[in-house]
Structure formats: C-alpha cells, structure tokens
Chain A
Amino acid sequence: HDACETYTELSDWLRGVEQRHGLGLGLELGLSRHPELSGRMRPILVDWLMEVAADYRMHRQTLQLAVQYLDRFLASTELQVRPSMLQCYGTACLSIAMKAEEQRAPSLTELTDFSKDAFSRDQLKQAELDVLVALGWHLAVPTVFEFLCLMFQRAALLLPERFADPAAA
C-alpha cells in the first residue's frame, strides 16, 4: 500500500499549494469585481480558448492552467476589465500558460491573427504584464488536472479490474 501513502502525501502537498495561493476561491468573486462583465462571457471566452488550444495541440494541463490564471487574474487585479478587453486578457493567460508548459509558444502576432485582430499586439503584450503582476508570478501551481490524474491513478490501484485495459484482454 505504498502507492496509497504516496497518493495521500501528494494530494496533501497539492492541496497545500492550492491553499497557499487561494486557488479555488470561485469565479463569482472574480466576476463581481468587474461590473461590466457578465456571467455569460466567461464560458464564451473559455470555448474560444479551447479552440485555440486544440489548434496548437496543447497539453490538457496548459488550457487548465490558462483558465485558472484567468480566474485568478479577474479575482485579484486592480484593473477593471471591460468586455472588449476580456478576450485579450484570456489570450494573455493562454500565452503565459504556453510559455510555462509547452516547448514552443506562439508569437503574439500569431495570437492576434487567431483572434481576427480583436486586439492589437501591443495590447496583448501589456495584458501579459498585467496578468503576471496580478498573479504575483505564481505560475507553477497545480490545477484540477493534477488532482484528476492522482484520483484516477488511485482508483486504478484500488479497483484494477474496472480499469483494466480492454485491449489487453
């Protein structure tokens, strides 16, 4: 049962990191700080970010990280984000997540092209800095992805028959 102990240790560790950064505070708080944003805008933005992520064949955790950066940014920035700038900030979060996680990150021009020039390259460049300041540079933090991986690994250890590879049978 060493593996289970390791599991407990790891999930405690991840939870500790999560609490230190006040992650999982909820997006309600984030959105309430920006009176011009409505609850509908976030899912629309996340849908679009998923498209970009699929196009670049990003790892799943990169997208998770980007969305987490976005929620944390909205919850902690001193700036008030207008609807017209939300996509720009979302893209900045994605760009930073890719730099932190992926081997190659696209140039800002590629990203503004992707948005069909909804914002300029300079705006995106500034948005990256605003996001980094708001996040306090805490970039290497766990997301729901790490927790899910751990849970599935644990489940597979406890219930091997349910998680057997059907191809192997």
Chain B
Amino acid sequence: MATDLRSARRAQNWGRLFIYGSLAAMAAFYLMPLWVMIVTSLKSLDEIYSGSFIGLPKAVTFDAWAKAWGTACIGTKCEGLKPYFVNSLVMVIPAVILSSGIGAINGYVLTKWRFKGSNIVFGMLLFGCFLPFQAVILPMAQVLGRLGLSGTIPGLVLVHTVYGIAFTTLFFRNYFITIPDELTKAAQIDGAGFFRIFFSIMLPAALPIIVVSCIWQFTQIWNDFLFGVSFTAGDSTPVTVALNNIVNVTMGRKQYNVDMASAMIAAIPTLVVYVVAGRYFVRGLTAGAVKG
C-alpha cells in the first residue's frame, strides 16, 4: 500500500518535471528574439561584428539607445525616433478615446434604446471587423483627400477611429447586453435622461470593457503600419513607419544595435500598457461569463 503510494507520487513528480521542463523550454525559445534584441542593443557596433549575437555584451553601452532616440538619420534628417514617437502618441491618444467613446455609445444604443432595424445596423457594423485593411485604402485615401486631411496626423486619427468603431461597438454591445434592461427603466423613472443614464450608470458599470477596448485599440493603432505608410509622409509618419525607415535605409555598415534599440523603443508603449492593465484585459474579456 505504502509503496504503491510512493511510486504513484514519484510518477507524478516526473510528470510535473516534464510539464514544467517543456514549458520552460518553450518559453525560452519564445523569448529568444527579445533576448537577442536586448543584448544587441547594449553592445557597440564593433563588438557585434566581431562576436556572436547571443552572448552578453562585454561592455554595456547605451549609445545605441541614445542614437535611436535622438540622432539616428531617417531620410535626410538626423533627429532619431523622438519626433515620430511623439507623432504616434498624438495619433493614438485621440483615436483610442474617440473610437472607444463612440463604441460605448453605439453599444448602449444598440442594447438599451433599440429601434427598428437596430439588429441590422449592428450586423452591418460587424462587417467592419472582417473587412481587410487593403480593401479600404483607396476609398479612404480619396475621402481624406476631399476632406483636406491627406498626409496629416488628424487624417490618421480619423482613419483609425472609423476603423476601430466596428470592434469597440462589438465589445460594448456584448457587455451592455448582460446588464438588465430594468436598470435603464429604473433610471428613467428616477428621472435620468439618455446621457445621464449613460454616464452615471452604464459607463461606471462598464469599467472592465472600457479597459479591454482601450488596450485593444491602443495596440492596434500603435502597431499599425499599413495605414501609417499609406496616408502619411515625411514629418507626420508614426513611429512604426519611421522604424522601418531607420532599419531599411542605412549607409555603410548595418547598425544592428541602433535597429534593435529603435524596435524596442517602438514596442515599449504597448508593453507598458499590457503590464499595467493586462490583468483587467483578461478579466474584462471573461466578464460576461461571470455575472455578479
């Protein structure tokens, strides 16, 4: 009896070891590129060309980071990623706020103030989620041209807002549908109007899905390359396009350390957003399933 138990426990331990071992191996494999990026960005160019990619730097130097941020040349200008990073911020903040805000109101109307044909409207909005980027580029360019927003950051904000509404509406609609309609009725009897109900009752209750919508939109818009490269040029390009220009357009030796540092700089905001709010993201995505 006792030996049975012991051997069972030993088998279990081996099983555990196998599971954790393979998980660790896969994690390491997955993290390898990040590792290479970090160590490469901390090496001098000479060291990179003389040694291996994977090893630790002999002398840690932040020169590449400084150069990527402030002095790397993009086209004829040598100001680093900084102005383009600012461009991306100026683009992403209003676009996230606008698309999430409009999505929230859409979701609220589609669930609590249903009208004839509201389901059809919702269905058509959903279509936007499945529309490939390439399909909208040409018509979008024409619209931006007519509006006089071609090649500008406000134009890009408009594009991302419009494109994001399909997703944010879906998020908020599916969240608000779990909130009982009686809540709206009670508020109406209390004397609250359309916007009062929205701001005082629905939005505070929707915090998890607001976080989801903002994270989703932030990463989508920040990481977008296609719209950025299609609708902006020169000084108004977002950081993703600038990164491409740094990496792909070099004179002389390829500056791997600067490339890596630039890529990391461009990726930092989305990483920060996930680390800070990732918990809420998962909670928000599953919020509909566990109703209090």
Determine if chain A interacts with chain B. Answer: no
Chain A residues at the B interface, C-beta cutoff of 8 Å: none
- Please report B residues at the A interface, Cβ cutoff 8 Å: none
